[in-house]
Structure 1
């Protein structure tokens, strides 16, 4: 029974674990929000490797040399607390939301790529064209407006189709055998 109590005891003062978690949380938040690029809704192998390595390095910095579940719970509660608080604050206050989430960026306007934004976000024309194809758009010229959203997704607004451009729809067929309506 003493071993179980030792497992849940605290080796470090809770304030130290809260401080470690807070410093690492805010450091990573600033790095991910302001220094790293938004991708176009995908995560490549290099991105995944980066996240794993950051998690490992941050884990070591936050943990120190703690060995008990109690220390780990204090640290996890700190990270969860900051995450919840920032979500709540960004929901309640527009200023906090603007600071934490990058604004949507226009990457195509009137059928032409906005090269300044593409360069800043490090998105190639091939990547952009691939994302457009995933949404059924064959040509950049068919796009009235495309925005890179804060989550990396691409919102695409096409020009309205004219009636003479529209493909005729096939005649209606009934799902009942023998019905020829």
Structure 2
């Protein structure tokens, strides 16, 4: 029974392991998979995935002790809370963690550079515009790809503005 709660690795080892994995995956999600996340924030999705994996390992016995899994989970929780707190307090941290909106259509014209940069095809854009009730590009004043991957569409009003 005592070995169930004994630690196989020193606490600092688990903290370093959790920290390295968290930051590696955060950077991958932020800079490589930026727009493929959907409506959850990058850090939120990362946190859910890592906590699920760490909890699974702790529960299934991949670690020889429950405490090793708990230390890793506590490290992930601390990083997630810390980054949320820093994002709330400092705009620079928030800008680093979440991509800024990207204008894809301005005054009925597609911004090709932005489309290329975000690797979005015309077919994908047109599909999203149809979902927003847009039949023709000329109806769009601004269409922005938000940091969470959603498309915000502002239509030309009935006075042509």
TM-score range, shorter chain: 0.7 to 0.9
SS of the counterpart of 2:123? Answer: helix
Inter-partner Cα distance in structure 1 for 2:26 and 2:37 = 20
Counterpart residue number, 1:69: 66
Q: Which has the higher helix share?
A: 2
Counterpart residue number, 2:85: 88
Counterpart residue number, 2:144: 147
Inter-partner Cα distance in structure 1 for 2:9 and 2:19 = 15
- TM superposition outliers: structure 1 runs of 4+ over 2 Å: 39-42
Instruction: Count how many residue pairs are aligned between Structure 1 and Structure 2.
Output: 145
Per the normalisation by structure 1, the TM-score is 0.73
Inter-partner Cα distance in structure 1 for 2:83 and 2:36 = 22
User: Would you say the 8 A contact 1:39–1:121 is kept in 2?
Assistant: no
Query: Are 2:152 and 1:158 equivalent residues in the alignment?
Result: no
Select the residue among 120, 128, 135 that pairs with 1:138: 135
Counterpart residue number, 1:30: 27
Query: Are 2:124 and 1:111 equivalent residues in the alignment?
Result: no
Inter-partner Cα distance in structure 2 for 1:146 and 1:24 = 35
Q: Deviations over 1:105-136 (max 9, x none)?
A: 10000101111111111111111111111111
Inter-partner Cα distance in structure 1 for 2:36 and 2:71 = 33
Q: Deviations over 1:41-96 (max 9, x none)?
A: 48xxxxxxxx9xx96xx86xx99x63211100100110111011001100110111
Per the normalisation by structure 2, the TM-score is 0.81
Q: Which runs of 5+ in 2 are unaligned?
A: 40-45
Inter-partner Cα distance in structure 2 for 1:154 and 1:109 = 13
Inter-partner Cα distance in structure 1 for 2:105 and 2:91 = 26
User: Would you say the 8 A contact 2:5–2:65 is kept in 1?
Assistant: yes
Q: CA deviation at 1:6?
A: 2.0
